[in-house]
Amino acid sequence: MRVPINTITPDTPSAEVIGWAHEIRDLGGLAFLLIRDRTGIIQVTVPKKKVAPEIAETIRAISRESVVRVTGMVKPEGKAPGGRELIPDAIEIVSLSATPLPLDVAEKVPAELDTRLDNRFLDARRPRVSAIFKIRNAVQHATRNFFFDNGFIEINTSKIVAAATEGGTELFPIAYFEKEAFLNQSPQLYKQMMMAAGFEKVYEIGPIFRAEEHNTTKHLNEATSIDIEVSFTDHIGVMQTLEDLVRDIYQFVDKTCSDAIADLGLDSFAVPEKGFPRLPYSEAIEIASAKCEEDIAYGDDIGTAAERAIGEEMGRMYFIVDWPSSIRPYYAMPYENDPEICKAFDMMHPRMELSSGAQRVHQHDLLVEQIAKKGLNPENFEFYLNPFRFGMPPHAGWGLGAERLVTTMLGLPNVREAVLFPRDRHRVVP
């Protein structure tokens, strides 16, 4: 019976392991074979004169990264990693690996991200890479738990749509029989429709597609969005939900992923403290214009340099609130007493934006007015506007970039590190 490598202790009498040949060190009369599975590494020690001759022969035939099965006695051994080693009774090559390897799994020689992504299955054999995806798994698990516990309904909406929901962003056109269709850039419209459907609290974890030709370490053309929409609340309410969720995710990762965190070599893993500051846009602009060379004025979008300057000043996760209505989408609810600003927010990590959301406009006529104000034709929004005519409750929501959350949480240098098979400007394979 095969056992996971990390379950073998110095007290284990005997074991069968199946895993990948991580390294082979042949000293002549004595050989060491390191076997790795997803739980850890164990050393197989082969004193060639004391084991069956066919075992010594098999050892010579093993190439690195082959899948091998070893059964044998476990011996406590201070000199071996993990304080134990395996003395083989039998070794079998289950699947021989070809040589040379396209990249060095043992990480003696680094590989560039591009090489790694071309050979992602090999790259992901490296503990520091698989650790990222174990943590990503915990992030999504914690997210689903959080929403389930808080009475949210998970929805799955179509990624094939007839038109843009928000405008602005470029869409990927696809052939849909005799019609033109697109890959969806956001579940925004569907979430809002479910408010009209009376679901009250919904969330979706799903892909979003954006055909923008950006080329940065924080953009993807296919990303995973954690999206919520909640009725009978406002932006303040969903901001609190967002802060609670993010802290909950960090706590869950902290509690359940200590091995993965250690594999990543993180010195510290800090759960963000309660009470993310709510920084009004106008104050954010003041900080940015004081710290940045370039001219930054009220009404400008917050660019990369400004974002960095403000993040430095804040030094923790924070919200930017009370944005000018002019630079937010038509569906962001303007303040009743000051329609020049709106109930929209961004949630920021000092490094980058993680989420944006708002209380939405739920009044049909106001929405038409807002669409027209943006220079868009309300007639093109029939499909979107229809639910607003038949009893749309007040509601608010946000979208949170799952990859960015993981990237900032783990201090990864590039958002592509947090995606198994990233899609960017140049990459469609594998």
Q: What does the per-residue mask of binding to RNA show for 234-273, with x meaning CB under 7 A? A: ----------------------------------------
Q: How far apart are the first and last CA of the chain?
A: 34
Amino acid 359 reads: Q
Question: From the CB of 391, what's the least distance to RNA, in Å?
Answer: 27
Does residue 123 interact with RNA by CB under 7 A? no
Which range binds RNA by CB under 7 A, 18-26, 237-245, 263-271, 275-283?
18-26
Cβ proximity to RNA, 81 vs 255, nearer residue: 81
Interface pick for RNA out of 10, 102, 237, 378 (rule CB under 7 A): 102
Interface pick for RNA out of 7, 95, 115, 282 (rule CB under 7 A): 115
Question: From the CB of 100, what's the least distance to RNA, in Å?
Answer: 4
Interface pick for RNA out of 20, 143, 401, 410 (rule CB under 7 A): 401
Strands 179-183 and 160-161: antiparallel
Interface pick for RNA out of 38, 64, 159, 364 (rule CB under 7 A): 64
Does residue 121 interact with RNA by CB under 7 A? no
Q: Hey, how many other C-beta atoms are within 10 angstroms of the C-beta on 381?
A: 19
Does residue 103 interact with RNA by CB under 7 A? yes
3-class secondary structure, 88: strand
Which range binds RNA by CB under 7 A, 28-36, 128-136, 229-237, 366-374?
28-36
* Contact indicator for 255, 271 with CB cutoff of 8 Å: no
- Restricting to residues 351-390, name those near RNA by CB under 7 A: 352-356
CA separation, residue 180 to residues 173, 189, 383 (Å): 7, 19, 16
Cβ proximity to RNA, 24 vs 256, nearer residue: 24
Cα–Cα dist 232/234, whole Å:
7
Q: What is the DSSP string of 122-159?
A: HHTTSHHHHHHHHHHHHHHHHHHHHHHHTT-EE----S
Interface pick for RNA out of 287, 399, 409, 410 (rule CB under 7 A): 399
- Restricting to residues 39-58, name those near RNA by CB under 7 A: 43, 45, 47-50
Cα–Cα dist 197/204, whole Å:
16
Interface pick for RNA out of 346, 360, 362, 388 (rule CB under 7 A): 346
Interface pick for RNA out of 4, 7, 9, 25 (rule CB under 7 A): 25
Does residue 28 interact with RNA by CB under 7 A? yes
Question: From the CB of 308, what's the least distance to RNA, in Å?
Answer: 7
Question: From the CB of 89, what's the least distance to RNA, in Å?
Answer: 16
Question: From the CB of 379, what's the least distance to RNA, in Å?
Answer: 23
Interface pick for RNA out of 235, 403, 406, 409 (rule CB under 7 A): 403
SS3 assignment for 176-197: ECCEEEEECCCCHHHHHHHHHC
Residues 6+ apart with CB under 8 A from 192: 229, 331, 360, 387, 392, 395, 397
Question: From the CB of 404, what's the least distance to RNA, in Å?
Answer: 5
Cβ proximity to RNA, 299 vs 365, nearer residue: 299
- Restricting to residues 198-227, name those near RNA by CB under 7 A: 210, 212-221, 223, 225
Q: What does the per-residue mask of binding to RNA show for 302-341, with x meaning CB under 7 A? A: -xxx-x-------------------x--------------
Query: Residue 27 burial by CB count (10 A; 0-12/13-18/19+): exposed, middle or buried?
Result: exposed
Nearest Cα to Cα of residue 140 among 245, 219, 218: 245
Does residue 411 interact with RNA by CB under 7 A? no
Question: From the CB of 416, what's the least distance to RNA, in Å?
Answer: 7
Which range binds RNA by CB under 7 A, 108-116, 176-184, 242-250, 313-321?
108-116
* Contact indicator for 406, 135 with CB cutoff of 8 Å: yes
Q: How many CA atoms lie within 13 A of 53 on its CB side?
A: 0
* Residues facing 40 on adjacent strands: 37
Cα–Cα dist 59/93, whole Å:
9
Query: Residue 402 burial by CB count (10 A; 0-12/13-18/19+): exposed, middle or buried?
Result: buried
Does residue 424 interact with RNA by CB under 7 A? yes
Structure token digits, residue 29: 């009369």
Q: Hey, how many other C-beta atoms are within 10 angstroms of the C-beta on 372?
A: 12
What counts of helices (H) and strands (E) characterise the chain? 12, 16
Does residue 284 interact with RNA by CB under 7 A? no
Does residue 274 interact with RNA by CB under 7 A? no
Does residue 180 interact with RNA by CB under 7 A? no
Question: From the CB of 389, what's the least distance to RNA, in Å?
Answer: 26
